[in-house]
């Protein structure tokens, strides 16, 4: 078996960026997503959220396509949150799309720490500002990006 390390910082948001992830029940959501990762043989390093979006640092198993992994995580967690509508009463679903950025094993601790401190970080910066900074860091043009646009 070859040695492959595919670490991603993946972000997705709620439909219309509505603040529907409750802090009181986010840990239950994290546990559910952790189970999905484990089932797909992916190693979840860190997961955190704000009311309107989720951050994940995960090593995706080389036999799993990134797009398929994110599709399953979003579909299954959406279904679970809708089934638990008492805990997530305003949740309508996830927005279309996601953002994924790859990192080396050497950069992984920085990504983990960044995700760990989301709630503190967002006291000073909006998700849009944060996301546009990532795009620029990656050499991408925020004006051409569709991730934050609702259809």
Rounded to whole angstroms, how far apart are CA atoms 30 and 38? 12
CB atoms within 10 A of CB 127: 18
Beta pairing, strands 53-59 & 43-50? antiparallel
Rounded to whole angstroms, how far apart are CA atoms 131 and 137? 10
> Between these two residues, 151 and 20, which has the higher pLDDT value?
20
Token pair belonging to 33: 């997503």
User: SS3 of 99, please?
Assistant: strand
Domains and CATH numbers, the chain: 7-144 (3.30.70.1290)
pLDDT of residue 92: 95
Q: Is the pLDDT of residue 119 over 90?
A: no
pLDDT > 90 fraction of the chain, expressed in percent and rounded: 72
Rounded to whole angstroms, how far apart are CA atoms 124 and 119? 10
Mean model confidence pLDDT for the chain: 91
CB atoms within 10 A of CB 90: 12
pLDDT of residue 79: 98
Q: What is the mean pLDDT of residues 34-39?
A: 97
Question: At 2, is the pLDDT very low, low, confident or very high (cuts 50, 70, 90)?
Answer: low
Question: At 145, is the pLDDT very low, low, confident or very high (cuts 50, 70, 90)?
Answer: confident
Render pLDDT for 64-108 as a digit per residue (tens, 0 to 9): 999 999 999 999 999 999 999 999 999 999 999 999 999 999 999
Rounded to whole angstroms, how far apart are CA atoms 140 and 125? 20
């Amino acid at each position: 078996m070859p040695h492959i390390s595919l670490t991603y910082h993946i972000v997705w948001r709620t439909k219309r960026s509505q603040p529907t992830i409750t802090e009181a029940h986010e840990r239950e959501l994290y546990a559910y997503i952790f189970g999905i990762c484990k089932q797909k043989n992916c190693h979840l390093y860190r997961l955190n959220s704000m009311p309107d979006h989720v951050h994940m640092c995960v090593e995706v198993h080389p036999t799993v396509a990134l797009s398929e992994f994110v599709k399953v995580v979003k579909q299954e967690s959406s279904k679970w949150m809708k089934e638990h509508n008492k805990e997530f009463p305003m949740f309508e679903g996830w927005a279309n799309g996601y953002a994924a950025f790859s990192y080396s094993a050497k950069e992984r601790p920085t990504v983990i720490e960044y995700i760990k401190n989301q709630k503190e970080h967002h006291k000073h910066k909006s998700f849009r500002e944060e996301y546009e900074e990532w795009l620029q860091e990656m050499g991408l043009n925020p004006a051409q990006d569709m991730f934050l646009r609702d259809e």
